[in-house]
Amino acid sequence: MTRERRTSIRIDLISDTAAQPTPAMRRAMAKAPTGDEQRGEDPSVNRLCERAADLLGKEAALFLPSGIMCNQVALAVHCRAGDEVLAASNAHVLQSEGAAVATITGALVTPIDAQRGMFQPGDLARSLRRRKLRAPRPRVACIEQTSNRGGGSVWPLAKLQGIADIAGANGLAMHLDGARLMNAVVASGVPARAFAAPFDSVWLGLTKGLGCPVGAVLAGDRDFIDAAWWWKHRLGGAMRQAGILAAAGLHALDHHVDRLEQDHGAARELARRLQSIPGIDIAPALVETNIVLFDLADERSGADDLADYLLGEGIRVGVESGRRLRAVTHLGIQPDDLVEVADSVERYMLDMSKPQG
Ligand SMILES: *Cc1c(COP(=O)(O)O)cnc(C)c1O
């Protein structure tokens, strides 16, 4: 995509990462006290880590540049080469991290069939191999809250507990990918520490719905975080005056959590509008948070064609597959934008249904 084309995007629903840091967030960043993060001397980073550990009900936390690094550091601590990580087949850690688990830790990631990104405790039990010399050693069950490719679905607490029971009985650690954990918290009313409780390690993404420019916080018990520091440094994740970034996280925890409900409302509103358009298949009841998956109902058009048309109108959405598109709401999206998006989709679909010739 050319630079010109990108700057002409007015309504960006490609991901919640499209949210820009707000003026108030930038002011908080500019004022942040800083120090050498790698030496544990950055007061803003230390505050953010204490705050995140408390929010997640864990002993300690670690600031990292990205969510991918959180997943990779955590799995490197939990696993050795030849161990096995189990995750939903469409999980980010399996699909979207450049096979980092295989390259960094040397562990195998086994996919578990999932509906809307979620599997049942029994599915985990059935996926566990019998302990044999020739089998990989199952070590970690990895869960994404909310499920990204599952359409922002929220794992119910009881299901997480059921999975933790199976994991515990089989000596597996539990790891939570919390790129959108606060979306799950706001949508369900379940506190973050309750969602985090069944897990040995959990991270909180700052750059998705929370709207920060950089960063994520990984939490666990003291021994886990001590070991994680080693991997953070080893992977080049130790930073210097990172308090400027941590200040954005602290600001987001103060000001951008409750407002996630607006993003969820916007996603529901978009889903309702799309549902009324002939040729679009969508189940608004499945839109639990800020991700809207919708399908083209027939063969007349492909998802790429619709996405290209929308781009011409200054609207960017994601293409999931030949017929499926994805729109993600965030703090840069206004209610009027949704009307415009739905109107553009409707115009395109009407055009498609005219006799060609
Ligand atoms: C975005 C995302 C990540 C990676 O986070 P980054 O901060 O972009 O590295 C991991 N897991 C899920 C579910 C995500 O949506």
51-78 confidence digits (pLDDT tens): 999 999 999 999 999 999 999 999 999 9
Predicted confidence (pLDDT) at residue 299 exceeds the cutoff of 80: yes
CA of 17 to the centre of ligand 1 (A): 10
215 CA closest ligand 1 atom index:
7
Predicted confidence (pLDDT) at residue 2 exceeds the cutoff of 60: no
Q: Which of 68, 142, 176, 320 to mutate to test the pocket of ligand 1 (most atoms within 8 A of CB)?
A: 68
Whether the CB of 209 sits within 6 Å of ligand 1: no
355 confidence band (pLDDT: 50, 70, 90):
confident
At 7 the pLDDT is: 60
Whether the CB of 142 sits within 6 Å of ligand 1: no
pTM of the model: 0.96
At 130 the pLDDT is: 81
% residues pLDDT > 90 (the chain): 93
At 100 the pLDDT is: 97
341 confidence band (pLDDT: 50, 70, 90):
very high
Whether the CB of 290 sits within 6 Å of ligand 1: no
With 0-12 / 13-18 / 19 or more C-beta atoms within 10 angstroms meaning exposed / middle / buried, residue 39 is exposed
| Number of DSSP helices (H) and strands (E) in the chain, helices first | 15, 13
- Ramachandran area for residue 60 (φ above 0: left; ψ -120 to 50: alpha; else beta): beta
CA of 176 to the centre of ligand 1 (A): 12
Whether the CB of 207 sits within 6 Å of ligand 1: yes
- Mean pLDDT computed over 2-31: 89
With 0-12 / 13-18 / 19 or more C-beta atoms within 10 angstroms meaning exposed / middle / buried, residue 170 is middle
Query: Sheet containing 173-178: which strands, arranged edge to edge?
Result: 60-64, 216-220, 201-205, 173-178, 137-144, 83-88, 108-112
Work out the end-to-end distance of the chain between its first and last CA atoms, rounded to an integer number of angstroms. Answer: 30
Give φ, ψ of 54 to 5 degrees: -65, -45
Closest-CA residue to 79 (of 172, 160, 168): 172
Predicted confidence (pLDDT) at residue 216 exceeds the cutoff of 80: yes
